Structure 1
Amino acid sequence: MYTGTALFDLLLPGDSRSLKAKRSYVRPIIAALRRFEVSVAETGALDLTGRAEIGVAVVAAEASHVREVLDSCERLVAGRPEAELLSVRRRLHTEED
């Protein structure tokens, strides 16, 4: 069994000056990521209006499948025009970890 995690650090547009506006950018990204059957949530920068951190986790029997799913998630987030992907931190965990 393998578990993979990814943290996406996003810069949001300048008009996201309120938490309500921030949610209007983050919510569709999270909904799109759920199509990959992953666990996903806004995990950091919760009180910052121009930034967002989204965490993704996936569990699979093969490490290659975990990598493929995380690659797909990263491509989706990087391709979103409403947010700039600043960084991605990924980890792969095995049963021995």
Structure 2
Amino acid sequence: MFTGTVVFDLLLPGDSRSLKAKRSYVRPIVAALRRVEVSAAEVGALDLHGRAEIGVAVVAATAAHVREVLDSCERLVATRPEVELLSVRRRLHGADD
């Protein structure tokens, strides 16, 4: 069994000054990620205007499948025109960890 996590650091548009506006950008991204059948949530930068961190976790039988799913999640977030992807942090854990 392998688990993988990824955290996306996002720069939101200038009009996301309120919590309501920020959520209007974050919520559709999290919903799209969940359709890939991963766990996804806003996990950081909760009190920062114009920034968001979205975390994703996946469990699979092989490391290759975990990498494939995380790659598809990264492509999904990177192609969103309304946000800028600033950084991506990945971790992969196996049964021996």
Give TM class, smaller chain.
over 0.9
Give unmatched runs, 5+ long, in structure 1.
none
Partner of 1:60: 60
How many Å separate the matches in 1 of 2:19 and 2:35?
25
Partner of 2:92: 92
Partner of 1:23: 23
TM-score, normalised with respect to structure 2? 0.99
Which amino acid is the alignment partner of residue 63 of structure 2? A
Cα root mean square deviation, aligned: 0.4
Shift, 1:95, TM fit: 1.0
Which amino acid is the alignment partner of residue 48 of structure 2? L
Partner of 1:43: 43
Residue by residue over 1:31-53, the C-alpha shift from the partner in whole angstroms, topping out at 9 and shown as x without a partner, is: 00001100001000001120000
Which amino acid is the alignment partner of residue 86 of structure 2? L
TM-score, normalised with respect to structure 1? 0.99
Identity of aligned residues (%): 85
Q: How many residues align?
A: 97
How many Å separate the matches in 2 of 1:48 and 1:3?
29
How many Å separate the matches in 1 of 2:96 and 2:41?
26
Partner of 2:73: 73
SS at match of 1:36: coil
Give unmatched runs, 5+ long, in structure 2.
none
Would you say 1:2 and 2:2 are equivalent positions?
A: yes
